[in-house]
Structure 1
Amino acid sequence: MISRWMKKQLETSVQQVVSRLGQSFENLPDVLIERPNRPEHGDYSTNIAMQLAKTLRQSPLHIAAQLKNELEQAGRMEGLLHRIETAPPGFLNFHLDWSEWARKAFRLPDAVREKVVIEHTSINPNKSAHIGHLRNACIGDSLARLLRRAGYQVEVHNYIDDLGNQLADTVAGLLNVDHQAEHLRFGDYCWELYARVNKAYEQTPSLLEQRTRVLRALEDGDGNVAWIGMLAAERIVREHLEEMKAFGIDYDLLVWESRIVREGFWDSAFRLLQQTELFQMETSGKLAGCWVLKQPAADPAEPDAEHHADKVLVRSNGILTYTAKDIAYHLWKFGLLANDFRYKPFADGLWTTHADGIVADYGKADLVINVIDRRQEYPQAMVKQALEALGFAGQAEKLRHVGYGVVSLSPGAAQELGLDTSDSKTSYAMSGRQGVGIKVSDLLDLMEAQIEGKRSDPEGLSSRLIAAAAIRYYLLRFALPTEVVFDIQQATETTGNTGVYLMYAHARAAGILAKAQANGLPRTESLPEDLSLLDQAEHALLRQIAAWPDTLSAACEELSPTPICHFAYELATLFNHYYSACPILKAEPQQQPFRLWLTAEFKETIAEALDVIGLPAPDRM
């Protein structure tokens, strides 16, 4: 990658200059390489001279000049640069030699062959999935694609909480609430049933005792209630998989929480935790009889902070909390338990943990990534703390929580779903307990209808694929911590920062290249010798294409698909401007081969970006 390679060369030059001035080059500031917004300020730039000014007691411009001379005399840029400039108050601006760039073909370096386990989606198997679940799945799937592109061995898990309160609520509803409704899918029926049983708890508090009994029955794993829970969960999980498949999302392994309990994973983890000082049974107070993970004393300024509360892992009635089972699961993920699952096929290419299965090689990760909304930061921290308490500090360091903001509905989307928006809120939160939200299947149907009504070419990509891509991109383009206020009209626009806009740009480039090939037009294999003759739009597009490997690297380091979305949108915008400003098929003979080459480079680059974020790269829309 250009910026990483340039940074390494510049760091060496900084050390040389600092050493010549009789200063120590220990604890020097980090060298930052940036891409200026304005091309006249260079293709890359650094302000390291300004950061060194106080240490070296010289003017930033003078230091920049010395760094420029060192780089040029030592030949560290190996001909990659056309020129280096200094600019007040102390910038170093680098202008690339684009012909040399094309020959070097900078790409991502080969990654260390680490195994990464990514857990995402992990929807409670008690009703149909909603759009908030879909954001999780889109983020996780994009991270899997990104890390595979970077050379990692990636294994994707979908964790099924078939022992939790939510499934217990649905089972309690099936057993105790009379609900009559016609649905094609069981998950949609349970969507309504789940809301009804939660209302019934308010009206008949004694019904809550049924949930406790169901929880116990699910954990015991035998009897009528356990079988009802298992069958309901499996039916809903299969529907979830169908919903995610429509968005290009799939998995390698389903991990069922019940298997963690019934096959002794928690028992092994419990014995390990008992050997640590942090894991204790409370003998008095409101947590008497509970096994807890002890926390440091609360900060007096934050006496009620959640992160200072001792975390209950086993309740006084013996029922395990979600975090307890998650600790056992993560010990297995890192290969730190003697226990292992057995496995059997669940669907095409997808395996599941199962008592009646075979031995297979899953888990044993070098790096574990959990995509869970940011409200779950505390439970994730408890898993990390448990690993540290057990002496697995290295694994704790390699456990990464990718948190994200929730999804709510815009007033327009809420109105289309028939919700009351008379209070004029800016957004409307979803609540499964109240039955408020937008189911993934309903959203896809609605968006498909919107796309079908707007399109002019029925022979291109199907409206359903376009709709799925539009939804997916909308959920990915916002910074991960940001709350997404989903608006159906915005997501289906063909201009602006939308998935439809990006796919149109790829289709436009594909159409141009197909016509050029049909007409036998030549395409250059190298850049023009005199790059000063390039049009401004050509240069801007070329600069953006060159930034692709750096963008991939940044996205890997951030564990976020958002940089890819930003890059792809800017790339598509620059291409469309280039298409408008620079004739391609009708270009002058001396310009046309290069412009076709540049169009092909754009098409290849945006196709790679679209693949990482899980969107099609259609030749025709």
Structure 2
Amino acid sequence: MDVLRFEDLVYELGDATRPTVVSGAVPENGVLVIRGLVTLRSLIAREVGEAVGRLLRQGGLEWPGGLEPLVEQPARIEHGDYTTNVALQLARHLRKPPIQIAAQLAGELRTLPMASRVEAAAPGFVNIWLDWRWWASHGTMLPEPSKERAAEKVVVEHTSINPNKAAHVGHLRNACIGDTLARLLRRVGYRVEVHNYIDDLGDQVADTVVGILHVPITGRYSRFGDFCWDVYARVSQAYERDEALKARRAEVLHALEAGDNNTAWLGRLVAERVAQEHVAEMGAFGITYNLLVWESDIVREGFWAAAFEQLQRSPLFVKETRGRLAGCWVLKQPQQQEGPAEAAVGQEDEAGDDEHLTDKVLVRSNGVLTYTAKDIAYHLWKFGLLGKEFRYRRFAQGLWTTAPEGTSRPFGRAKRVLNVIDRRQEYPQAMVRLALQALGFGEAAGAVHHVSYGVVSLSPATAARLGMDTSDGRSSYPMSGREGIGIKIRDLLDLMEASIDRERSRQVGLSSRAIAAGAIRYFLLRYNLATEIVFDMDSALDVHGNTGPYLMYAHARAAGILRKGGLESRSVPPAPERVPEISQVERALLRHLADWPDTLEMAAVELNPTLVTTYAYELAQRFTDFYENMPVLKAPEHERPFRLWLVALSRAVLADALDVLGLPAPERM
């Protein structure tokens, strides 16, 4: 039998004139419609919604506002493959006991062709057992991207490291999260454009330039970023002893912003060289960008001037004439419009922003722009609301950069913007949204999403190894570029490569360095975004358990079984016509495979890569359990084709998940 696509199943099972439903949908004129990827769960939810509609009509009732039937996989397999609690939601509308409503719904749903059993369960659940043999012959677990989403461009900004020194593992977490979100959104159908914002006018670049000019450094370095790492730490120490040197930073900042002098050229050369190394370092982890946006171009090409002109039309943007912020241009909170900004000035962060002000300073009294000011201009451009365009030139293969002397390119004009920035930047992000609202761009303000994540700190053992004083007994220690304390990305990759070399019994397939990059990337992705990662060198170097190498090995194992079974193609063959009785181990694997489209959709909606890492790890576990307990190549003749097909499907879904996560899917390992 030919394999049907999910779209065919929608046509076969549904009727567009009746209510349809998918988890998370919103009723439209009494009709619940499938949005995003069409999945097994959404198809069952659709049928549940139609059954609910029939019950409501029988009672002379209209679809209640807020009623949204949800279908989920129960945690315990003995409770079925899918379940819904919609009967509990309907009880007050139908004025019947939930269990009675559940029994009626179960009767309606027993005609589903993919269901082998449907039962009502107290206090009001409807549990559905799937006919997996039917599904093996009719379904597919690899959904097509949503065609509706192709018209919506999403700009994802991530990494955005200050280009003044080598990158450390905390920067890598940002880049791994951002790259995975970009892959995820592309996978479900969006057009995605990835930006890396290069802050070449900030304090950090100024400090490195001051250090290069005035702080002698000796020693041999293989990379410019490593040299700058030490320069930045040394100049920070020198500032504590030399106030005149510290004052030199302000002079350099002004010179960088002016852009027409020797110091500005030096700053640009430093930033470009370091940015090149950053891009190359990220490339080792499969992280790529479409565009580098330079802060200096925002200022020198008049982008901030255009934004300033727009902001002046808003009553929220004022120049203070008295108080501690006299002479500053300030973006005020709506309730703070009257009177001068007398809020206490907070500590400035490394980017030069006044982090804790109720009202946000955008231009300081000395004329220096804050980071947030330039970010507002950048976001107006992202949405095509500024009335100005960059020009571009090639920076590297497949990568463009803003450049005054460049050509036109179709960048920007996003429908939605994702900014991957750590949780300490919540306030500046809120100010960008406030600025868009103040200018009347409410839709754009609502389309800016701050993807927040916890910072990476060091475990006591790792901090001590790096020379930090850990005698105070804290549970974690922050990395500090100013103190030169941190784990550089390339150093970590070298250590992990050596660790994997020691573990490998033979060198076949992927290189140890590629495995190392995958291991580090997965380590940084598998934690919940809000979690602060306490980075421990020994734990990160471990390749056992819930790790990237475990997932890659499971894929290589599946590929090896298929090779021996004569199925070397990466495409999934049609299911065999005869499907044998399915064991509990096979059912558990099929059940998990069927949930991949829903996991993809949920991860894309929630912008949560951890859902994918959790799914992939559990798939690797279930596949391992399957091949260790169910013979495949030595299976009886009538069972062997089905089990080979199940291996092929497992390999394909795992490869899909690994691609979203940015990990290799090796044939041998």
TM-score (norm 1): 0.94
Cα deviation, residue 295, structure 1: 1.0
Structure 1 match to 2:365: 316
- Residue of structure 2 aligned with 1:97, choices 121, 124, 131: 131
> After superposition, what is the alpha-carbon deviation per residue over 1:403-431, rounded to whole angstroms, capped at 9, x for unaligned?
11101122343344454444443322211
601-610 or 150-159, which deviates more: 150-159
Structure 2 match to 1:82: 116
CA distance in 2, matches of 1:284, 1:90: 66
Structure 2 match to 1:378: 427
Contact 1:157 1:251 in 2 (8 A): yes
CA distance in 1, matches of 2:378, 2:519: 35
CA distance in 1, matches of 2:536, 2:177: 19
Instruction: Name stretches of at least 5 consecutive residues in structure 1 with no aligned partner.
Output: none
106-115 or 492-501, which deviates more: 106-115
> After superposition, what is the alpha-carbon deviation per residue over 1:299-335, rounded to whole angstroms, capped at 9, x for unaligned?
xxxx989777100111111111100100101111111
SS of 1:481's equivalent in the other structure is coil
- Which structure 2 residues correspond to residues 56-135 of structure 1 after superposition, within 5 A? 56-72=94-110, 77=112, 79-102=113-136, 103-105=138-140, 107-108=143-144, 109-113=146-150, 114-135=152-173
CA distance in 2, matches of 1:580, 1:420: 48
Structure 2 match to 1:432: 481
Structure 2 match to 1:465: 514
268-277 or 20-29, which deviates more: 20-29
Cα deviation, residue 80, structure 1: 2.4
Equivalent residue letter for 1:112: R
- Which structure 2 residues correspond to residues 92-241 of structure 1 after superposition, within 5 A? 92-102=126-136, 103-105=138-140, 107-108=143-144, 109-113=146-150, 114-241=152-279
CA distance in 2, matches of 1:110, 1:45: 29
Equivalent residue letter for 1:170: T
Equivalent residue letter for 1:287: L
Cα deviation, residue 167, structure 1: 0.8
SS of 2:649's equivalent in the other structure is helix
Structure 1 match to 2:628: 580
Contact 2:133 2:579 in 1 (8 A): no
Cα deviation, residue 115, structure 1: 1.0
CA distance in 2, matches of 1:528, 1:582: 20
Structure 2 match to 1:605: 653
45-54 or 387-396, which deviates more: 45-54
- Which structure 2 residues correspond to residues 540-555 of structure 1 after superposition, within 5 A? 540-555=588-603
Contact 1:162 1:258 in 2 (8 A): yes
Cα deviation, residue 463, structure 1: 0.6
- Which structure 2 residues correspond to residues 267-346 of structure 1 after superposition, within 5 A? 267-297=305-335, 309-346=358-395
* Residues 335 and 519 of structure 1: CA distance in aligned 2, closer, same or farther (over 3 Å): closer
- Residue of structure 2 aligned with 1:358, choices 388, 397, 407: 407
Instruction: Name stretches of at least 5 consecutive residues in structure 2 with no aligned partner.
Output: 1-38, 337-342, 347-354
Structure 1 match to 2:440: 391
CA distance in 1, matches of 2:640, 2:629: 14
Equivalent residue letter for 2:551: L
CA distance in 1, matches of 2:468, 2:163: 25
* Residues 518 and 606 of structure 1: CA distance in aligned 2, closer, same or farther (over 3 Å): closer
CA distance in 1, matches of 2:395, 2:271: 14
- Residue of structure 2 aligned with 1:261, choices 290, 299, 302: 299
CA distance in 2, matches of 1:278, 1:478: 39
> After superposition, what is the alpha-carbon deviation per residue over 1:566-613, rounded to whole angstroms, capped at 9, x for unaligned?
000000000111111111112122221111110110000000000000
Cα deviation, residue 208, structure 1: 2.4
TM-score (norm 2): 0.88
SS of 1:446's equivalent in the other structure is helix
Contact 2:316 2:334 in 1 (8 A): no
Contact 2:173 2:524 in 1 (8 A): yes
> After superposition, what is the alpha-carbon deviation per residue over 1:220-269, rounded to whole angstroms, capped at 9, x for unaligned?
00111111111111110011111101101111111100000001111111
CA distance in 2, matches of 1:569, 1:293: 46
CA distance in 1, matches of 2:643, 2:538: 35
Structure 2 match to 1:4: 42
Equivalent residue letter for 2:147: D
Cα-Cα RMSD: 2.1
Cα deviation, residue 179, structure 1: 2.3
SS of 2:418's equivalent in the other structure is strand
CA distance in 2, matches of 1:436, 1:426: 17
CA distance in 1, matches of 2:468, 2:199: 30
CA distance in 2, matches of 1:237, 1:546: 42
Equivalent residue letter for 2:303: F
SS of 1:482's equivalent in the other structure is coil
CA distance in 2, matches of 1:24, 1:198: 69
Cα deviation, residue 528, structure 1: 7.4
Contact 2:87 2:124 in 1 (8 A): yes
Equivalent residue letter for 1:49: A
Cα deviation, residue 100, structure 1: 3.7
- Percent identity (aligned): 58
Q: How many residues align?
A: 610
Equivalent residue letter for 1:104: G
